[in-house]
Amino acid sequence: MDWARGLYSTALFALAPLIWRRVRSEHALTDPRRTLRELRLGRIPRTPPGEPMLWLHCASVGEVLAARPLIEALLERYPEHRLTLTTMTATGAERARALAASRGDERLVHRFIPLDFPAAATRFVSRLRPGLALFFETELWPNLLHACRRQGVPVAVVNGRLSPRAFRGYRRLRPLMGEALACVDWLAAKSSDDAQRFRELGMAEARMTVVGSLKFDIAIDDKALEVSECLRTRLGERPVWVAGSTHEGEEAALLVAHARLRERCPDALLVLVPRHPQRFDAVAALCAQAGMPAARRSLDEWPTADTAVYLGDTMGELLALYGAGDLAFVGGSLVPIGGHNLLEPAALGVPVLTGPELANFEEVAETLREADALVEAADEAALAASLAALFADPAERRRLGEAGHAVVAANRGSLERTLEGLARLLPPK
């Protein structure tokens, strides 16, 4: 075993009790009939000999949503292959299964990625037997990558990105990252800055291409649009803003901003969509404590004229909820998370607002800034002021929405460039 990977594996074994505790909390949100060893140690059914298989790994729900155009394109271009989509989190699993169900395609299946212990990684790859392994964004698991190389599985990193913060962390592990990246046959980087960071970690320039962000190729399905239209019709003419993918510590600030907004717009409605389902009940309690009890979508409750908050506590409906709003605030940006996908509301033509924490989406944010298609607020007071100003100015809302939609349309094309690169590793028949 390479020395850096050996030290890494030793550290994993030392941390195993903590890792298993985290895994058990995730397991509570998954299928309790399946054992943790089955879910996380690679004990998956064997792919039958002669059955071609593709493997795409996405960390969680956001990555699954961003990868959807790629997933659909792979199923179309490789009709003889099955596609195994792996995730790390239970929320990602739920989104992956919902995607498979919506397609009605038995070739798309979900599995949990194994913990990156050497034996589990080897077992998973040998049982899955993929013809091509794809890792989305920054999912670089050294033992899984090594298992692919040892078993002759070509590996690609797609939509490859490294935020400055992630790069600083990985740079401290440069020998380990260099070994991991040596197992990658092709890396499709989102930008030249991302490519440079990967290069500094040891990725060979000859095996790397800047293709742009797959997130600009976002797919909006007809069902989401229908749900949006239905919601908007039922909500009527009242001002509606959506706060999506919010985190702990962020909802309280958003409720303060909403209270200030309602001083100017008493009938304003906040559609609040927490990022993680295990927090739905806590956020509902937080709304009640703030004097704004929420109608809960999961309970089929409907906001009345007096309701201030509508809690989007369901899975897989964020795009539909964004589409029902006049304005959209993208969460993870008032707290030091790094932001979430600003392009989801933009693709729907909904004006986009954000907080200052955008480390994970800085390049996307800059593209929107250049088109004057992004409203940034430093805190809840600034957010409340921006919301009030925009609700008072329909022409500016319309301009912002059109500008954001145009940015998404102008930057599409990464998907086709990614597929061309993958075809060099696994030509479609």
DSSP letter (8 states) at residue 111: E
Residue pair 187/216 in contact (Cβ under 8 Å)? The answer is no
Q: If you count DSSP H runs as helices and E runs as strands, how many of each does the chain have, helices first?
A: 19, 14
Calculate the CA dihedral of residues 199, 185, 129, 135 and round it to 10 degrees. 40
Q: Is 376 a catalytic residue?
A: no
C-alpha R_g of the chain: 22
Distance, in Å, from the CA atom of 185 to the CA atom of 23, rounded to the nearest integer, reads 30
Q: Which residue has the tokens 């995607």?
A: 99
Q: Which residue has the tokens 């077992």?
A: 123
Residue pair 402/349 in contact (Cβ under 8 Å)? The answer is yes
Query: What is the number of other CB atoms lying within 10 angstroms of the CB of residue 154?
Result: 18
Residue pair 335/254 in contact (Cβ under 8 Å)? The answer is no
Q: Say which of 26, 63, 317, 357 is annotated catalytic.
A: 63
**DSSP letter string over 130-191?**
-SEEEEETT---HHHHHHHHHTT--EEEEEE---HHHHHHHHTTHHHHHHHHTT-SEEEESS
**Which segments of 3-117 does DSSP mark as H helices, in order?**
3-14, 16-27, 36-40, 61-77, 90-103
Per DSSP, the three-state class of 196 is helix
Contacts of 111 (CB under 8 A, 6+ apart): 44, 84, 85, 86, 128
Contacts of 286 (CB under 8 A, 6+ apart): 251, 252, 255
DSSP letter (8 states) at residue 237: T
Residue pair 330/244 in contact (Cβ under 8 Å)? The answer is yes
Active site residues: 63
